[in-house]
């Protein structure tokens, strides 16, 4: 594969006053995806979130998941099932080949077969979800919000799949998140990734709607049919009333990560990263970001 040569870009930075002068922070805000990317692979994070280079192909599974999200965005926005499914399929078909990591499928015929399999898996997955879709009193769909949080040096940003009226607290709202997976999560509502994501959404939705936020509800849909005939759907609930310790850890993690990116440092690759390990190591090996 031909290596792409990166040109160094001018990077806009934030300057935040400290006791010792100005501290330079190379990003404007944290999001759940950017924080997880930084923790997993600092060099890949720097390339994407600081230099704004978006050239890493996505795995078929991620594209199928995004297509399902497009379908649900339209379904909960008021479009009927059939139309929503078709809009998700249109999105999947519009993704160009160069944005897909086909893996071992190198020839045109192999890639065409892979795309056909992706469409089949998408239709199966969204069909499972929409067979008996969860019902909500929807207040917002794909809600994008930025929040200033006391005690954090940077704002945080999140996208909430759905903001709905809470069924257990009439004064409050709940946040609903959809995930399309190959296997159900083992730790359920105690999964750290779910809790960290939930807190990002908590602060942004609370600020945007000006109402208490009670729960973060995750609907997982397994894309492959369960051999035992059990439900393809699982629901996990995080009640923010029980997350006091998690909020403290969240604040500490965000502030530690902010301090880490604001100091002078070398950004090193993580070759074991299953998503961007090879790409980040190639960049490091060739010295393209030096």
Round to whole Å and give the CA distance between 33 and 48. 11
When pLDDT is averaged across residues 14-18 and rounded to a whole number, the result is 53
When pLDDT is averaged across residues 176-180 and rounded to a whole number, the result is 97
Query: Which residues are CB-neighbours of 172 under 8 A, at least 6 positions away?
Result: 166, 211, 212, 213, 214
pLDDT of residue 282: 80
Residue pLDDT, tens place only, 30-86: 999 999 999 999 999 999 999 999 888 999 999 999 999 999 999 999 999 999 999
pTM score, two decimals?
Answer: 0.87
When pLDDT is averaged across residues 97-105 and rounded to a whole number, the result is 93
pLDDT of residue 55: 86
Rounded (5°) CA angle 233-238-240: 160
CA 90 remoteness from chain centre:
21
CA 65 remoteness from chain centre:
11
pLDDT bracket for residue 187 (50, 70, 90)? confident
Classify 144 in phi/psi space as left (phi over 0), alpha (psi -120 to 50) or beta.
beta
Round to whole Å and give the CA distance between 73 and 209. 19
Q: Is the dihedral of CA 248, 254, 257, 263 positive or negative?
A: negative
Lowest mean pLDDT among 39-43, 106-110, 216-220, 268-272: 268-272
**Whether residue 256 has pLDDT greater than 60:** yes
């Amino acid at each position: 594969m031909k290596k792409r040569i990166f040109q160094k870009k001018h990077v806009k930075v934030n300057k935040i006053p400290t006791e010792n002068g100005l501290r330079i922070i190379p990003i404007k805000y944290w999001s759940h995806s950017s924080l997880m990317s930084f923790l997993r692979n600092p060099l890949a994070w720097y390339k994407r979130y600081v230099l704004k280079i978006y050239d890493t192909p996505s795995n078929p599974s991620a594209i199928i998941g995004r297509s399902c999200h497009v379908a649900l965005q339209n379904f909960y926005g008021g479009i009927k099932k059939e139309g929503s499914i078709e809009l998700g399929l249109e999105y999947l078909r519009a993704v160009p080949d160069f944005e897909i990591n086909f893996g071992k499928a190198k020839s045109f015929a192999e890639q065409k077969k892979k795309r056909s399999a992706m469409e089949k898996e998408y239709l199966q997955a969204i069909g499972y979800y929409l067979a008996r879709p969860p019902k909500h009193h929807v207040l917002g769909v794909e809600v994008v919000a930025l929040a200033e949080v006391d005690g954090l040096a940077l704002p945080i940003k999140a996208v909430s799949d759905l903001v709905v009226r809470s069924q257990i607290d009439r004064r409050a709202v709940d946040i609903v998140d959809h995930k399309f997976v190959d296997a159900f999560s083992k730790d359920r509502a105690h999964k750290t990734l779910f809790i960290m994501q939930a807190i990002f959404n908590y602060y942004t939705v609370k600020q945007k709607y000006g109402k208490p936020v009670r729960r973060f509800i995750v609907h997982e849909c397994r894309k492959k049919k369960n051999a035992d005939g059990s439900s393809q759907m699982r629901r996990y609930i995080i009640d923010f009333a029980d997350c006091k310790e998690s909020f403290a850890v969240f604040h500490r993690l965000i502030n530690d990560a902010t301090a880490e990116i604001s100091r002078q440092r070398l950004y090193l690759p993580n070759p074991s990263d299953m998503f961007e390990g090879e790409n980040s190591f190639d960049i490091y090996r060739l010295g393209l970001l030096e």
